[in-house]
Structure 1
Amino acid sequence: MTETTDLLIFWAVVMARFLIPLTIPRYPLPGVLASLILDMVDQTIFQLFTDLPLEGYQGYDKALDIYYLSITYLSTLRNWSNLYAFKLDRFLFYYRLVGVAIFEIVHLRYLLLIFPNTFEYFFIFYEAVRLKWDPKVLTKSKLIAAAALIWVFVKIPQEYWIHVAQMDTTDWIRANPSNALILVAYAAFLLAMAWLLLRDLPPARKGLEFAALPVAAAPVVAPLPEAIKKERERLINKQVLEKIALISLLTIIFAQILPGVRANNIQLSIAVAIIIIINTALSHWLARHGRHWSSIVREFIVMSLVNTGIVLLLDFFSPRYEGSIDLGNTLFFILLLTLIVTLYDRYWQLHINNNSKNASKEGENY
């Protein structure tokens, strides 16, 4: 009975870590805060309520962290109306992703000080502002100042504390309860900095805007500029290149975290490029025949079947080229990657439609 209860608790937490990030596109701030809190307490839940060994969970824990951060980034494609904020957040996301990939290869903890996770807290800042204001009131200078303050005063101290000094805040306070006053004073300092940054914004609207605007499953596509239409019709375009870069980085990180993978990073990147190009070719083929995905669920199911077939072929041919994969781990994470690609395709379309006029004015090319 105890083992059954342990497994029920384990799978409840794992499914929560998989499903809660899917609320971020529609409810950005509550979704990301819930994901962040669950990430902080999941292992504590296991320690308090189960007798399960946690060694095998470490890799999955890290991978699920990257998964929910990826969903967070994709929600900016869907929702963010401030184009400069989006570009800045996109840079912070990929900067962190590159840092994590390098760290997982070389295992130098100081790298995480150079590549802090500023992206996540900048996202929280933006969505906190959106509760009361139209985010377009955030100027470039305010956005840069906010990112810099989060980078220097929040993330670098946090990365040092957790990854370099490897200190536990609870133990630190337990050793000297007066240390809690230091944390309170520092929190007050951060709130004061936030107030100075936002004090000259226009009057706030009534109520709190937690939900992002609803989006139809198959939104009507507005006419696009000719240059953008030609770019999208190409099999290899900037959207596809970003997908290859995104999924290659995620795959390299997953491969370093999870056991049973003998393919090197170049082989993994080539495999990812092949999968993305095949998926894109399928979407283009459907578009040329006058068909489009009627729902994001259907697209995910079809792409999952296609990608599962590709993985099975790779598993069959890998031993001939001195490689191998753990089929169970690979199939699980190919489903995560397929979900990320599906959301990317759908939300990129919304992003380009919503920002095509601004992009044309600023000389953006997609």
Structure 2
Amino acid sequence: MPDTSDMLIFWSVVMLRFFIPLFIPIYPLPAVIACLILDMVDQTIFQLFTSLPLEGYQSYDKALDNYYLAITYLSTMRNWSNLFAFKISRFLFYYRLVGAALFELTHLRGLLFIFPNTFEYFFIFYEAIRLKWNPIVLTKNKLITATALIWIFIKLPQEYWIHIAQLDTTDWIRANPSNALILIGWALFLLGMAWLLLRDLPPMKSGLSFAADPVPVIQRERFEQETKISFPAVNSSKKFFDNALFEKIMLVSLLSIIFAQILPGVRSTNLQLAIGMAILIIINTALSHWFARRGTHWRSIIQEFIAMSMVNLGIILLFDFLLPRYDGSINLFSTLFFVLLLTLNVTLYDRYRTMHVRSQEAVDSGK
């Protein structure tokens, strides 16, 4: 049985991997880099400072990776003013999420090569540009080229190296120090490609923009006019079963299936889990529409998260009370985890998608 110090270290790392991503919507680039660093060193921390078995590390790592990538994707709804870049990021995110879910179900490493995590590096590219330029200067051609370069020359080699060849870079260089020259040449090639891609951008702005804007800023044609988008109330007049509802169901269901592979005591099948998440999301969406019709406005996203968590907790406790009367049961711990995961993602999605829709409307009205 693991000793107390081992579990303290383990849960400290896990909590960091859960809480650091919450800063991504506010400090996109620093928070994502912090997540990347923690992702790279957590296994080393476990190996050096604990005696914990690491047989299930791959699934644990992929689950937490997809958790923070989901928040990263949701932050693009809040922050990204370049709408074509957002469309690319949405495709890249769901492409990887589907691949990660398939990997957890089949444990075929080749799937991680076929479905590379291009989204993460594309996000870093965009936010790195935002440090010194308004991202609206990134044209469709530049964004497509950047995506192709990241996919082909960064992520495919990396995914092959880690998941197919299962090689360690440090051991590879230690075996033949001249191999470091290959990495240096590869890095210089990527820097050259980046220079060719960005050399004709307008002059850089002063300072560095590490923090996200409070609300999206859309710059219209010729970058001359800025329109700040205020956060509006939920529009309850729109139809209930829309693309947003289906996207929330897909997002939370895929995340839940991935986490179900590492959580102890999950007795439901993947289909049952997805159906349960869908029902809860529909209930949450119905409540949001009801609140909107009553003119209820959340003062903060934290207030909304707490309120919806209490509602969902009540629903789960009701099920926990009623199911034994009909020869049924749920694992309360696992169910509460899934409910908190659902509530967090749905709350962020609803809030940030509204901002994104208003951003699109501002761009369309400026055409």
Task: Tell me which residue corresponds to 2:222.
Answer: none
Q: What is the 5 A alignment of 1:102-117?
A: 102-117=102-117
In structure 2, how many angstroms separate the alpha carbons of the residues matched to 1:19 and 1:313?
Answer: 29
Give the direction of change, closer, same or farther, for the CA distance of 1:92–1:359 in structure 2 (3 Å limit): farther
Task: Return the letter of the residue paired with 2:339.
Answer: I
TM-score, normalised via structure 2 length: 0.88
The total of aligned residue pairs comes to: 354
Task: Tell me which residue corresponds to 1:255.
Answer: 260
In structure 2, how many angstroms separate the alpha carbons of the residues matched to 1:298 and 1:346?
Answer: 12
Give the direction of change, closer, same or farther, for the CA distance of 1:114–1:322 in structure 2 (3 Å limit): farther
Task: Tell me which residue corresponds to 2:11.
Answer: 11
Offset from partner CA, 1:45-86 (integer Å, 9 cap, x none):
121122333346554432211110001001100000000000
Query: 3-state DSSP class of the match of 1:258?
Result: coil
Task: Return the letter of the residue paired with 1:246.
Answer: L
Offset from partner CA, 1:107-161 (integer Å, 9 cap, x none):
2221222111100000000011111111000000000000011110111111111
Q: Is 1:29 paired with 2:34?
A: no
Task: Return the letter of the residue paired with 2:256.
Answer: T
Query: 3-state DSSP class of the match of 1:350?
Result: helix
Task: Tell me which residue corresponds to 2:146.
Answer: 146
User: How big is the alpha-carbon RMSD for the aligned residues of Structure 1 and Structure 2?
Assistant: 2.6
- Retained in 2: the 8 A contact 1:28–1:127? yes
Q: Is 1:242 paired with 2:247?
A: yes
Task: Tell me which residue corresponds to 1:203.
Answer: 203
- Retained in 1: the 8 A contact 2:215–2:231? no
Offset from partner CA, 1:172-225 (integer Å, 9 cap, x none):
122222222211111111111111111111111112111111259xx954699x
- Retained in 1: the 8 A contact 2:78–2:355? yes
- Retained in 2: the 8 A contact 1:261–1:324? no
Displacement of 1:323 in angstroms is 8.1
Same amino acid, percent of matched pairs: 69
Give the direction of change, closer, same or farther, for the CA distance of 1:44–1:221 in structure 2 (3 Å limit): closer
Task: Tell me which residue corresponds to 2:279.
Answer: 274
Alignment gaps of 5+ in structure 2: 217-228
Alignment gaps of 5+ in structure 1: none
Give the direction of change, closer, same or farther, for the CA distance of 1:318–1:359 in structure 2 (3 Å limit): farther
Q: 2:336 aligns with which of 310, 313, 331?
A: 331
In structure 2, how many angstroms separate the alpha carbons of the residues matched to 1:325 and 1:176?
Answer: 54
Task: Return the letter of the residue paired with 2:238.
Answer: E
In structure 2, how many angstroms separate the alpha carbons of the residues matched to 1:317 and 1:361?
Answer: 54
In structure 2, how many angstroms separate the alpha carbons of the residues matched to 1:95 and 1:330?
Answer: 27
Q: 1:302 aligns with which of 307, 312, 326?
A: 307
Task: Tell me which residue corresponds to 2:73.
Answer: 73
Q: Is 1:357 paired with 2:362?
A: yes
Query: 3-state DSSP class of the match of 1:351?
Result: helix
In structure 2, how many angstroms separate the alpha carbons of the residues matched to 1:322 and 1:3?
Answer: 37
Q: Is 1:163 paired with 2:168?
A: no
Displacement of 1:255 in angstroms is 2.0
Displacement of 1:325 in angstroms is 5.2
Task: Tell me which residue corresponds to 1:181.
Answer: 181
Task: Return the letter of the residue paired with 1:327.
Answer: L
Offset from partner CA, 1:24-50 (integer Å, 9 cap, x none):
111111110110110110111121122
Task: Tell me which residue corresponds to 2:219.
Answer: none
Task: Tell me which residue corresponds to 1:123.
Answer: 123
In structure 2, how many angstroms separate the alpha carbons of the residues matched to 1:237 and 1:358?
Answer: 22
Task: Return the letter of the residue paired with 1:239.
Answer: A
Query: 3-state DSSP class of the match of 1:131?
Result: helix
Higher mean C-alpha deviation, range 163-172 or range 349-358? 349-358
In structure 1, how many angstroms separate the alpha carbons of the residues matched to 2:270 and 2:262?
Answer: 13
Higher mean C-alpha deviation, range 325-334 or range 8-17? 325-334
In structure 1, how many angstroms separate the alpha carbons of the residues matched to 2:183 and 2:12?
Answer: 33
Query: 3-state DSSP class of the match of 1:233?
Result: coil
